[in-house]
A and B are shown apart, each in its own frame.
Chain A
Amino acid sequence: MNSQDDEPRDRLIAAVASLCTERGYEEITEKEIAARAGVPRARMAELFPGGKEDCLVAAENKILLDVVGAVSQGYSADRSEWDNVIHGVHRVLQVVASIPDFAYLGYVFSRQMAPGRIREINETGHHMLEAMLERGWAYSDSTEQPGCTALGVLGGAQALVRRELAAGRAEQLPEILPECVYIATVPFLGQAEALRLARRARELSLPAAPASRGR
C-alpha cells in the first residue's frame, strides 16, 4: 500500500478509535467515521469493505502492534534481563500515553462488549505478552509456580493503566512505571527483589515521552 492510501486509512482508524471511546461501538455509524476522518464514504468502503467492524479491527491491530513493538524497542542485549523489563514497560507506557484513544480501545473497550473479532485480537495480544512474562519463572527461587501467574501479572499492570485512562490521565502513564514494575515482578521474584526493581525504575534516567496525540 502506498502513502496516498495510508493517510486516509490512518485517519479512518483514528476516527473509529476516538468515536468508540466517546460513545461506544453500537452508537456510531460509518457515515460519522468517514466524516470525522474527512474521507469520502466511497473511499472508506474501498479501504474497509467490511464497514465499521473492519475499521475497528484495524484500530485494534494498531494498538496491539504498537505495544508489542514497544516491548521489542525496549530490549537491549547490553542490559540485564530485568533492566530490559523495566525499559520495555516504560516504553509501553509511553506509547499508550501517546495514543490515548487507541489505548482506551485496547485496554477498556475491547474487554467489554466488543464484537468477537476484536476480542480475539485482544486475546491474541494478551497471550503473546503472557508468554513473554512467563520467562520470569526462570529467575525465581520459588519452590512452586502457581498457574496463571503471567495472566495475573498482566491483569494487575493493566488495571493500573486502565484507571489512568478512565480518569483521562493518559499523559501521566509513564509515572506509574515503578508500580507496574512491582506488580509485574513480585509474583516471580518476591517482595524484596520486586521493590528493588521498582526503586531502580524510579531512579533510572529514562527518556521522556513523546508528545501526546489523539484526544
Chain B
Amino acid sequence: MRGDRALPAATERDRALRATAELWSELGYERLSAPSISARAGIDAKAFANIFAEVEAAAEAAIEVPLAAVVTVVAELYSPDRSEAESYAMAVVGILEWMADNPAYTYLGYIAGRQMAPPRVHSVYESGHQFLVAMLERLWASSTLTEQPARAGLAALGAAEAVVRREIVAGRFARLPALAPDFVYGAITPFLGQEEGLRLAELSRQLVKEEPPR
C-alpha cells in the first residue's frame, strides 16, 4: 500500500523535531534540553532558538507529528465509494506502515509521550486521542445493535492499541503492518460485530500482502 515516499531534504525544523522525538524516547521528557536536541539534530543553538522558543514548544510540535500523520492517512484513504469502516480498515494499514517507517515518533506517540509531560504537551496528545475515539464512535451509525454500550470508542481504541503496543515496546517496528488484521478486528468488532470485524480484518490482510518485500 505504500506509495512513493520520497521526501524532500529534511529542513532544520524537521531535524530538530526528529531529534526531540528520539531523545524524549531515549531519556524521558525531564532530560530534554536545547543543547542536546541541537547537537542530535546537527544544528547550532541559535538556529534551534529561532525555530522553537523553548524545549516545551519543540516537544509540543514533536508530539503533533504522529497525530498529523494519522489524520493525513485517514483523510487520504477516505472515499465516499467505500463504507466508513472499510476506509478505516485501509487507514489502519497506512497508519501502521507510517509507524514502521518512523520508529522514533511511534515510540513517542505510544510510550514516551504518555508520561509526565507538561499540561500543554499532554493536552496535544489527549486531543489526538479524543479525535480517534470520536472517529470510532461514528461506527455506531452503521450498527444494528439495539443498545450502545458507553465508552465503546475508548475501549475499542485501547483494544487496538494494545495489539501493537507490545511490538513497539520491544522495538519490533517492522512487524507493525502485519498486525493490521488484529488491530482492525479489535477496533471494529465492538461496533459492527464479529462477522464484519473478520471481513475487514481480511481486507486489511490483503492490503498488507500487496506490499513488496522491504
Given A142-B194, A159-B158, A178-B149 in contact, is the A152-B185 Cβ separation under 8 Å? Answer: yes
Per-residue CB contact flags for chain A residues 138-173 toward chain B (1 = under 8 Å, else 0) read 000011101111011111111110110000000000
Q: Are A158 and B111 in contact (CB under 8 A)?
A: no
Q: Are B182 and A152 in contact (CB under 8 A)?
A: yes
Smallest CB–CB gap between A75 and chain B, Å?
A: 24
Q: Which of A6-14, A88-96, A190-198 contacts B (4 or more CB under 8 A)?
A: A190-198
Q: Are B111 and A153 in contact (CB under 8 A)?
A: no
* Cβ < 8 Å to B, chain A residues 24-65: 24, 26-27
- Contacting A176 at CB < 8 Å: which of B28, B151, B179, B197? B151
| Interface positions of B (Cβ within 8 A of A) | 28, 30, 111-112, 114-116, 143, 145-147, 149-152, 154-163, 165-166, 169, 179, 181-182, 185-186, 189-190, 193-194, 197-198, 201
Among residues of A, the one whose C-beta sits closest to the C-beta of B167 is A148
Q: List, in ascending order, chain B residues with CB within 8 A of A180's CB.
A: 155
Q: Are A158 and B145 in contact (CB under 8 A)?
A: no
Q: List, in ascending order, chain A residues with CB within 8 A of B169's CB.
A: 119
Smallest CB–CB gap between B177 and chain A, Å?
A: 14
Smallest CB–CB gap between A144 and chain B, Å?
A: 5
Q: Top 3 closest A-B pairs, CB basis? A: A155-B162, A159-B158, A156-B159
- Main SS at interface, chain A: helix
Q: Is A187 an interface residue (CB 8 A)?
A: yes
- Main SS at interface, chain B: helix
20 contacts between A and B (CB under 8 A): A24-B30, A112-B114, A113-B115, A146-B201, A148-B182, A148-B186, A151-B166, A155-B160, A155-B163, A157-B155, A159-B159, A160-B155, A180-B155, A182-B155, A183-B152, A186-B190, A186-B194, A187-B159, A187-B186, A190-B194
Smallest CB–CB gap between B130 and chain A, Å?
A: 11
Q: List, in ascending order, chain A residues with CB within 8 A of B190's CB.
A: 156, 182-183, 186, 191
Give CA–CA (A112, B156) in the complex, Å. Answer: 20
Give CA–CA (A152, B146) in the complex, Å. Answer: 24
Q: Is A83 an interface residue (CB 8 A)?
A: no
Q: Is A66 an interface residue (CB 8 A)?
A: no
- Contacting A187 at CB < 8 Å: which of B116, B145, B194? B194
Q: List, in ascending order, chain B residues with CB within 8 A of A178's CB.
A: 149
Give CA–CA (A112, B114) in the complex, Å. Answer: 7
Q: Are A179 and B152 in contact (CB under 8 A)?
A: yes
Given A112-B111, A119-B169 in contact, is the A158-B182 Cβ separation under 8 Å? Answer: no
